[in-house]
Amino acid sequence: GAVVSQHPSWVICKSGTSVKIECRSLDFQATTMFWYRQFPKQSLMLMATSNEGSKATYEQGVEKDKFLINHASLTLSTLTVTSAHPEDSSFYICSALQGSTDTQYFGPGTRLTVL
């Protein structure tokens, strides 16, 4: 099956610093990737849609200047949490859309803790 990786799997940072999370599709190309946030015992909330070679589309209420998304290649999208604060602590999950099957494949997630 299609494999999507995320790096790092967990990160702890100080308040005010920036953190970059990578999402890679390992065995297929993905023109579209998605970034989600999952709160404890809750569902996934779509943050933004990342399109290769163009600007990301953010969902309502998501600050684009805080959550910077770059989709520079067909296998890599990055999410940078800028000037992180404790309330940004969460589980961030990416997915990549496999066009041939019209199915999203998910990465294992990144646990971000902001102190």
Partner 1 sequence: GDSVTQMEGPVTLSEEAFLTINCTYTATGYPSLFWYVQYPGEGLQLLLKATKADDKGSNKGFEATYRKETTSFHLEKGSVQVSDSAVYFCALSDRSEKLVFGKGTKLTVNP
Residues that bind partner 1 (CB under 8 A): 4, 6, 32, 34, 41-44, 46, 49, 93, 95, 97, 102-109
Q: Is the distance from CB of 80 to CB of 19 less than 8 angstroms?
A: yes
Structure tokens of 7?
Answer: 């790096």
Phi/psi at 28 (5° precision): -155, 160
Q: What is the spatial distance between Cα 57 and Cα 50, in angstroms, rounded to a whole number?
A: 7
- The smaller minimum CB distance to partner 1, of residues 10 and 17, is found at 10
- The smaller minimum CB distance to partner 1, of residues 7 and 82, is found at 7
Q: What is the spatial distance between Cα 30 and Cα 26, in angstroms, rounded to a whole number?
A: 10
Q: Least distance in Å: CB of 97 to partner 1?
A: 6
Phi/psi at 51 (5° precision): -115, 130
Q: Least distance in Å: CB of 21 to partner 1?
A: 13
- The smaller minimum CB distance to partner 1, of residues 76 and 82, is found at 76
Distance from the Cα of residue 108 to its chain's centroid:
11
- The smaller minimum CB distance to partner 1, of residues 28 and 106, is found at 106
